[in-house]
Amino acid sequence: MSHPRVALIGCGLIGQKRLNLLPPGSVTVACDTQLDRAKKLAAQSAGCLATDSFAQAVSSPNVDVVMIATINSALAPIALAAVRNGKHVLVEKPAAISVAELNELTAAAQQTGALVRVGYNHRYHPAALKALEIFRSGALGPMMFVRGRYGQGGRIGYEKEWRADPKLSGGGELIDQGVHLIDLAGIFLGDFTTVAGHVATYFWKMPVDDNAFLSLRNAAGQTAWLSVSCSEWKNLFSLEIYGRDAKLHWEGLGGSYGVERLTYYKMLPQMGPPETTIYEFPRGDESWKIEMAEFFEDIRLKRTPVPGLKEATAALAVVEKIYQRQQG
């Protein structure tokens, strides 16, 4: 087998993006609740079957890998069915709408030996990769705290989309963009043992949050202070990583979020203005491509994917604690 045979479940923008990045003919099944959309995507890959049945897709003998990009409430049930059929899985974040769902998925994967990677693709943005390189070199010194902001402005009718229905989404902005910040902060600070914060619905008339504010601490007391918003009005991404010797500031994600850049501020012995180095990435990111390449390497090496179910559970556990406290 020259390349794993892939089933794409969810034939929207993410499904199309993944198809475009995969070798010709490697997508053997396209599945979507809208059969016409599945047929449109299937027509782009020779010999690809179109179906509206995920059960058929995950049980197909002509499939080795299942890639899932659906509404949040469907992610875990489809991933679980795929894993129980012995298929390796790449599932979009947050991978589930509850920790209990992820625990069930983890247990099933351990039984069948299926590998599960969770699509926290922000880890593979060029600024993130450069930040990790500098962090792992020890140049930041002992960590102190992380500050992150992530937001977008919504759109007309946003409150009527599936993201505004808690049964389909599992929550609002916190489980949507918030999990990305939680996941990224965890790379630099590790597990969070203290979770504080709250969610609010300030603008959109919907039963889920449009803003969230978090203060997370690890066992050493190092803090992640995070804010996410879908009433930001101007799309924004900012992640600042503070060490005792230096600071990193990642801004932008490309496109409407602005040019992606990483600024490295190195504190000098005499303090005062730091030595500053700016890295810009105007050509965009290849995070989706790198993510999939890593997943296929996971499969080849039979290694545990990172980020995988462990990392997804850590992020969702924070979300779940905030939501549970808010509900009283």
Percentage of the chain exceeding pLDDT 90: 97
290 phi and psi angles, rounded to 5 deg: -65, -40
Is 324 strand, coil or helix?
A: helix
Contact 65, 300 (CB under 8 A): no
And the tokens for 85?
Answer: 């059929």
Which helix (H) or strand (E) is 190 found in, with range?
none
Which helix (H) or strand (E) is 247 found in, with range?
strand 246-251
pLDDT of 199 over the 90 cut: yes
The pTM of the whole model exceeds 0.95: yes
Q: What is the pLDDT averaged over residues 32-57?
A: 97
Homologous superfamily (CATH) of 126-284 is: Dihydrodipicolinate Reductase; domain 2 (3.30.360.10)
pLDDT of 123 over the 80 cut: yes
pLDDT in tens, 150-177: 999 989 999 999 999 999 999 999 999 9
And the tokens for 71?
Answer: 């509404």
DSSP string, 165-187: -HHHHSSSHIIIIIHHHHHHHHH
Q: Band the pLDDT of 217: cuts 50, 70, 90.
A: very high
Q: Which of 87, 118, 85, 97 is nearest to 309 (CA)?
A: 118
In the block, tokens 């899985």 appear at 89
pLDDT at res. 216: 98
Residues in the chain: 328
Contact 96, 259 (CB under 8 A): no
Candidates 3.40.50.720, 3.40.50.620, 1.25.40.10, 1.10.150.20; CATH matching 6-121: 3.40.50.720
Residue 302 CA: distances (Å) to CA of 64, 116, 142: 14, 11, 33
The amino acid at residue 37 is R
**Residue ranges covered by each domain of the chain:** 6-121, 126-284
Compute the distance between CA of residue 95 and CA of residue 269 in angstroms, rounded to an integer.
Answer: 45
Q: What residues form DSSP beta bridges with 309? A: none
Q: What residues form DSSP beta bridges with 27? A: 6
Cβ atoms within 10 Å, residue 74: 17
Q: Which of 190, 133, 225 is nearest to 311 (CA)?
A: 190
